[in-house]
Amino acid sequence: MKILVTGAAGFIGSHTAERLKELGHDVVGVDNFSSYYDISLKKGNAKVLQQKNIEILKVDLRYDNLAEKLPNHFDYIFHLAAHPGISKDSTFGDYFSNNILATQRLLEFAESLPKKPFFVNISTSSVYGLEATFSEDVAPKPASWYGITKLAAEHLVLAKCRENKLNGTSFRLFSVYGPRERPDKLYTRLIDCGLNNKPFPLFEGSEKHLRSFTYVQDIVDGIVRVFGNEAICNCEIFNLGTETESTTAQGIVTVEEILQKKIATEEKPPRAGDQSRTKANIDKARKLLGYNPQTTLKEGLLAQTEWFKNNF
């Protein structure tokens, strides 16, 4: 099958594209190589994918003519491109254009194709709000621009499904970590600080935050379970993540054990919109898709630490 992966040079997108290729599919990846973080990291991810015969195109979903830039046949679209996280340097316009406008334009492109592809939207636990411990049928209460715009993007996709204009689904991901994690995220920054003797910036109160830290390959395991389950997934939302909760403090201790050294911390003011707790309720995905993440936090962090040492 021919598959389009958006955000393919990013953290989760690159792993997803890689897995799809390993499953024998013809994969085309697109990315706009934004400057949200060091572009050289995305270029490195893209190079790894290109070495595995995955075509990577520089495409901006917001502004480019997608009909001109992309092939006119795909069996699936996996939409991972987004403006991520909570950043004081990002404007609402950044989140709106990348998460809402880009999704709408991609949907219009998908709807224009001769054969309508199955549309897999990648959403986030941030749509639930400051506490993300709920099943998919609970009303979301996002508390950040990121969560608000990702929820809007999800509704755009599901509206097309309800109108029978496209078939598709949305996966809400919980606290993903692992090799290729962005440099601004917890574990890449923590490992960097530990190895390079730099103080780790710890937001006030965040050491007590509870997270469903989920290894990236366990997330991809869930994403690819759409194959063969299209009828079950159509118009549905699924949480993907581990049910095991860990505090940020426990995560710091785990990295310290792996590095065999104490990591100094530097307290920063709390971040507005930062979630206090995430715990993936995956009853639906387990029952309907057979989803069952297995990687422990230490196993995943050992892999991420090894990746960091080999690449930086």
Catalytic (active-site) positions: 146
Neighbours of 267 (CB within 10 A): 13
Q: How far apart are CA 278 and CA 142, in angstroms?
A: 13
Edge-to-edge strand ranges of the sheet holding 131-132: 131-132, 277-278, 210-211, 246-247
224-236: b or e for each residue (b if 16 or more CB lie within 10 Å)? bbbeeeeeebbbb
How many DSSP H helices and E strands does the chain contain?
Answer: 12, 15
Residue partners of 27: CB distance under 8 A and separation at least 6: 3, 5, 8, 17, 20, 21, 54, 55
Neighbours of 215 (CB within 10 A): 24
